């Protein structure tokens, strides 16, 4: 199995506003190493969300290539990309994107209604439901299973979104400003939860953030500026004060 879960080469993307081309990504190369937490950090407008949408196959680049392991995915059909994403990638967003009329448990079950992947693994509805409950338990929220988003705190909504993202056992979790809508303490709780999933279960995580302090908690940090990744210091998180803290990528 490749040590790189996801990689992108030469990614370019422009938007058009009043017939004027606005280049947003100007040739981005990036790799997401397996089993690590990678941060893409940059100021507002630097192109982070645009890049994440392309990495998640939610959007396509104008130029460049995206690979999942060795397999190129950006040039596949929409249906293939949708099915691939549903099985391999969990995604969480700053504003959670929960369905307001559904309970926490029903929100976690939502991915099973989209693709067929889940029925490959689980035979009965009962088992599917049990698995969703286990995902809520994994994020410490089983006791809120019947609550609707309006009855949950911000942190609880993000936990629900994380549980939902884990439902199909993804290889990679992409997180777009996962703590951006939370107070500092709750944000730390969510980061701790993500770090736990990485350290205890080996989940590969790639998160984007504008916050340097959050980026510093990652194993690897890439800085974005004006649609490009700067030749970045590659930070390796270490427990020992004697160990080298910075490696140059
Ligand atoms: N659909 C769109 N149409 C036109 N311009 C867009 C579109 N989406 C993004 N942009 C522009 O692309 C640039 C990068 O946006 P993007 O959301 O990727 O940045 P970001 O680094 O994630 O910013 P933030 O942290 O504020 O979310 C911005 O200047 C934005 O105005």
Q: How many angstroms does the Cα of residue 181 sit away from the middle of ligand 1?
A: 18
Instruction: For residue 220, tell me if it sits in a domain.
Output: yes
Half-sphere exposure of 199 (CA within 13 A, CB side): 12
Q: Which of 75-79, 118-122, 131-135, 191-195 has the lowest mean pLDDT?
A: 118-122
ipTM of the complex: 0.94
Residues in the chain, how many? 249
pLDDT tens-digit profile of 8-21? 999 999 999 888 99
Q: Is residue 176 part of a domain?
A: yes
Report strand pairing: 204-209 vs 228-229. Answer: unpaired
Q: Following CA atoms 61, 205, 101, 138 in sequence, which dihedral angle do they give, to the nearest 10 degrees?
A: 160
* Ligand 1 site, residue 45, Cβ cutoff 6 A: yes
pLDDT digits (tens, 9 = 90+) for 119-130: 555 557 888 899
Q: Is residue 231 included in any domain, yes or no?
A: yes
Dihedral pair phi/psi, residue 47, rounded to 5°: 110, 15
229 neighbors 30 (Cβ within 8 angstroms): yes
Which atom of ligand 1 is found nearest the CA of 53?
18
Our count of domains for the chain comes to 1
Is the separation of the CB atoms in 87 and 73 below 8 Å? Answer: no
Domain of residue 166, CATH code:
3.40.50.300
User: What is residue 44's DSSP assignment?
Assistant: T
- Which residue, 46, 67, 88, is CA-closest to 215? 46
What is the extent of the structural domain holding 113? 4-238
Q: Is the shortest distance between the CB of 22 and ligand 1 below 6 Å? A: yes
CA 155 / ligand 1 centre spacing (Å)? 25
CA of residue 27 to ligand 1 center, whole Å:
16
Q: Does ligand 1 have an atom closer than 6 angstroms to the CB of 90?
A: no
Please indicate, yes or no, if residue 245 is contained in any of the structural domains.
Answer: no
248 found inside a domain: no
From the CB of 97, is ligand 1 less than 6 Å away? Answer: no
């Amino acid at each position: 199995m490749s040590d790189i879960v996801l990689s992108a080469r030469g990614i370019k993307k422009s938007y058009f506003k009043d017939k004027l081309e606005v280049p947003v990504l100007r040739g981005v190369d990036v790799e997401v190493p397996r089993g690590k937490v990678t941060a893409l950090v940059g100021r507002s407008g630097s192109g982070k969300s645009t890049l994440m949408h392309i990495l998640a196959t939610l959007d396509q680049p104008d130029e460049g290539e995206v690979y999942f392991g060795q397999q190129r995915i950006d040039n596949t059909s929409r249906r293939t990309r949708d099915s691939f994403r549903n099985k391999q990638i969990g995604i969480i967003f700053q504003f959670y994107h929960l369905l307001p009329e559904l309970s926490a448990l029903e929100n976690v079950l939502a991915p099973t209604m989209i693709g067929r992947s889940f029925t490959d693994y689980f035979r009965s509805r009962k088992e599917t439901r049990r698995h969703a409950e286990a995902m809520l338990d994994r994020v410490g929220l089983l006791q809120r299973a019947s609550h609707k988003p309006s009855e949950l705190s911000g942190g609880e909504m993000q936990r629900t979104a994380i549980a939902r993202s884990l439902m199909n056992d993804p290889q990679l979790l992409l997180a777009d400003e996962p703590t951006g809508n939370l107070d500092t303490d709750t944000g730390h709780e969510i980061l701790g939860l993500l770090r736990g999933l990485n350290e205890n279960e080996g989940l590969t995580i790639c998160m984007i953030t504008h916050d340097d302090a959050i980026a510093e908690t990652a194993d690897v940090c890439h800085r974005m500026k004006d649609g490009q990744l700067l030749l970045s210091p590659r930070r390796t998180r270490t427990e020992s004060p004697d160990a080298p803290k910075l490696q140059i990528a």
